Amino acid sequence: MSNNLRTATAYLQISRDRYPYDAKVMRSTQKKPEFVEPGCVVVKVQLRLPNVAWEPFAPEAVIDVPADLVQRPVEVEAVEP
């Protein structure tokens, strides 16, 4: 990786919004969450930013996540016999 880039990793917990095709980021963490909020999916995002990004301007990006990269959480309920 180039010395001109910095990498940041985040895990986003995203839920559906009440409007079609909208979603909300409910939580953001730097480590994989141990608990997933109900109705959310977790998306790992890595951002590579050039060092010039810290110069005065308003950075903005749109990121499309393909369906084959989505991992579904497994929920387990323990029941005593």
CA 24/CA 29 separation, integer angstroms:
15
Q: What pLDDT is stored for residue 15 in this prediction?
A: 92
User: DSSP assignment of 32-80, as one string?
Assistant: --SSPPTTEEEEEEEEEEEGGGGSSS---------GGG-BPPP------
CB 8 within 8 A of CB 44: no
User: What's the mean pLDDT in 8-30?
Assistant: 90
Name the more confident of 73 and 56.
56
pTM of the model: 0.61
Greatest alpha-carbon span in the chain: 62
pLDDT (average), residues 47-76: 75
Q: Phi first, then psi: what are they for 52, rounded to 5°? A: -70, -10
Per-residue pLDDT, 81: 67
